[in-house]
Amino acid sequence: MGVRARLDEIGDIGRDPVRGGYSRHLLDDADLALRDWFRRSAESLGLFVEQDGNANLWAWWGEPGMDAVATGSHLDSVPGGGAYDGPLGVASALEAVARLQAEGFRPTRPIAVVVFAEEEGSRFGLPCLGSRLMVGASDPADVRARADREGVTFDQAWTAAGLDPSTIGPDPERLGRLGAFIELHVEQGVDLEDRGMPLATASAIIPHGRWRLTVDGEGNHAGTTPMVARHDPIVALAEVVLAARDTAVAAGRGARATVGRLAVTPNGTNVIASRAEAWLDIRAGADDDVRTLLADTLARAEELVAAEGCTLTVAEESFSSIVAFDAGLTERIGGILGGVPAIPTGAGHDAGILAPSVPTAMIFVRNPTGVSHAPGEGARDEDCEAGAAALADTLRELAS
Ligand SMILES: [Zn+2]
């Protein structure tokens, strides 16, 4: 039926009327509807669908046995995200299976299409939640202690969806069944558009981390408190945001520092805030570069916050070291695709979490705008179909 038609089937699920684009977060109504869509789509291809203890969905072509070739991505989004980040990989995987079935292909290794839970970390703050739990990279107790922005705990959300939170955690048995994992994903930059090429493989995911910066000051009246008597955490934090930007610019070599999320207490128009929080995202070419950029930023932040008479608390929410994908598998796929470039990416993926445990590779599909995590994200119809055809070629080669 084609990748575009599959994406069109979910085109109305989880639209965000305020931000534009899509807001699809773990186990919310949109996510549950997408999971239903995946189940129905996979079952219509004769696949056997199961949900593991970490809410990842697996659709099996053939018996769920050893040395399986898995492909897939995620269906959740960032707030106000695009239509392709995640769903393109899932729709392409289903389409690749459909193409192989139509040509009468019979796999000699099991093929699995997987949907990983909460890849974006938009609800519980842990990117790649489902894959991290599966490989044992996150502590289940830590995950269960998390809450979303509305204060709904992980356990409450899980239970409300009819799931048992005590089942989350490492799944070595399932992991051991995987012989390869290939994630197809829309490119999150303009490298392919600049090269005039529709597809690439991924060489590596550059390291990245997330930190929560909490600045505590003194809440007070906006009208009666003299300017010199204030300890305003928003003013302090504003300077910290600029310092983060300037430190990354000075570091060069592709370093990136971003504050894209803020929270203010009590968040009143005529109130000097008592607390301001920012989430700092840092990426750079090497683990040490990320740590150095963080240290430099925080050293400056301490001074700026102290100068405002406020205090700074820093909590690390996640850190992902550099991930190199399986060179042999990547080269093999590059050959199957007729010689495509292997490009590094600054975005995290479930493929990066699986890579240390399973031979893993990625296929990128050209994004004409280069925009990602925003409604402007794009992919041309012909490139989407080329991606599914490439994935089908890869599965045929690996599973026969
Ligand atoms: Zn993604």
Say if residue 237 is in the same domain as residue 194: no
User: Can you tell me which residue has the tokens 């009246």?
Assistant: 221
**CA of 388 relative to ligand 1 center, distance in Å:** 17
**CA of 122 relative to ligand 1 center, distance in Å:** 12
CATH assignment at residue 300? 3.30.70.360
Q: Which residues pair with 48 in a beta bridge?
A: 60
Amino acid 346: pLDDT: 83
Say if residue 241 is in the same domain as residue 312: yes
Say if residue 144 is in the same domain as residue 176: yes
Say if residue 249 is in the same domain as residue 179: no
Higher pLDDT, 117 or 65: 117
DSSP percent split of the chain into helix, strand, coil, nearest 5:
35, 25, 40
**CA of 22 relative to ligand 1 center, distance in Å:** 13
Note the pLDDT tens digit of each residue in 88-98.
Answer: 999 999 999 99
Domain ranges, residue 93 = 3-206+322-398
Domains contained in the chain, number: 2
Contacts of 117 (CB under 8 A, 6+ apart): 26, 54, 55, 56, 74, 76, 129, 130
Higher pLDDT, 208 or 215: 215
**CA of 120 relative to ligand 1 center, distance in Å:** 7
**CA of 348 relative to ligand 1 center, distance in Å:** 7
Give the span between the Cα atoms of 89 and 349, in whole angstroms: 11
**CA of 78 relative to ligand 1 center, distance in Å:** 9
Give residue 348's pLDDT band: very low, low, confident or very high (50, 70, 90). confident
Say if residue 165 is in the same domain as residue 60: yes
**CA of 56 relative to ligand 1 center, distance in Å:** 15
Say if residue 243 is in the same domain as residue 347: no
**CA of 237 relative to ligand 1 center, distance in Å:** 29
**CA of 349 relative to ligand 1 center, distance in Å:** 6
Note the pLDDT tens digit of each residue in 362-399.
Answer: 999 999 999 999 999 999 999 999 999 999 999 999 99
Pull the structure tokens for residue 396.
């045929």
Amino acid 360: pLDDT: 97
> What mean pLDDT do residues 120-133 have?
95
Q: How is 231-289 classified by DSSP, letter by letter?
A: --HHHHHHHHHHHHHHHHHHH-TT-EEEEEEEEEES--TTEE-SEEEEEEEEE-SSHHH
Of the residues 304, 320, 336, the one at which a domain ends: 320
**CA of 262 relative to ligand 1 center, distance in Å:** 22
**CA of 118 relative to ligand 1 center, distance in Å:** 10
Say if residue 223 is in the same domain as residue 87: no
Mean pLDDT of the chain: 96
**CA of 281 relative to ligand 1 center, distance in Å:** 16
Q: How is 100-168 classified by DSSP, letter by letter?
A: HHHTT---SS-EEEEEES-SS-TTTS-TTHHHHHHHT-S-HHHHHT-B-TTS-BHHHHHHHTT--GGG-
Give residue 132's pLDDT band: very low, low, confident or very high (50, 70, 90). very high
Whether the CA torsion 61, 64, 65, 69 is positive or negative: it is positive
Angstrom distances, CA of residue 368 to CA of 14, 206, 317: 23, 22, 32
Q: How many CB atoms lie within 10 A of CB 122?
A: 21
> What mean pLDDT do residues 335-354 have?
92
Say if residue 329 is in the same domain as residue 351: yes
**CA of 346 relative to ligand 1 center, distance in Å:** 11
| pLDDT at position 65 over 90 | no
Nearest to 54 by CA among 152, 154, 142, 131: 131
Q: How is 182-239 classified by DSSP, letter by letter?
A: EEEEE-SSSHHHHHT-SEEEEEEE--EEEEEEEEE---EETTTS-GGG---HHHHHHH
Question: Which helix or strand (DSSP H or E) is residue 44 part of?
Answer: helix 29-44
**CA of 24 relative to ligand 1 center, distance in Å:** 12
**CA of 350 relative to ligand 1 center, distance in Å:** 8
Which amino acid type is present at position 250? A
Whether the CA torsion 29, 32, 37, 40 is positive or negative: it is negative
Note the pLDDT tens digit of each residue in 24-43.
Answer: 999 999 999 999 999 999 99
Neighbours of ion ligand 1 (CB under 5 A): 85-86
| pLDDT at position 318 over 90 | no
Of the residues 320, 341, 372, the one at which a domain ends: 320
Give the span between the Cα atoms of 166 and 177, in whole angstroms: 23
Amino acid 38: pLDDT: 98
DSSP letter, residue 314 = E
Nearest to 359 by CA among 183, 184, 111: 183
**CA of 276 relative to ligand 1 center, distance in Å:** 29
Say if residue 146 is in the same domain as residue 218: no
Amino acid 253: pLDDT: 85
Nearest to 71 by CA among 149, 179, 163: 179
**CA of 73 relative to ligand 1 center, distance in Å:** 7
**CA of 85 relative to ligand 1 center, distance in Å:** 4
Say if residue 313 is in the same domain as residue 332: no
Note the pLDDT tens digit of each residue in 216-257.
Answer: 999 999 999 999 999 999 999 999 999 999 999 999 988 999
Give residue 307's pLDDT band: very low, low, confident or very high (50, 70, 90). very high
| pLDDT at position 358 over 90 | yes
**CA of 117 relative to ligand 1 center, distance in Å:** 11
Angstrom distances, CA of residue 168 to CA of 25, 43, 231, 396: 18, 25, 43, 33
| pLDDT at position 195 over 90 | yes
Of the residues 272, 302, 320, the one at which a domain ends: 320
Q: Are 117 and 129 spatial neighbours (Cβ–Cβ below 8 Å)? A: yes
Say if residue 304 is in the same domain as residue 329: no
In the chain, % of residues over pLDDT 90: 94
Say if residue 239 is in the same domain as residue 329: no
CATH assignment at residue 105? 3.40.630.10
Question: Which helix or strand (DSSP H or E) is residue 50 part of?
Answer: strand 48-51
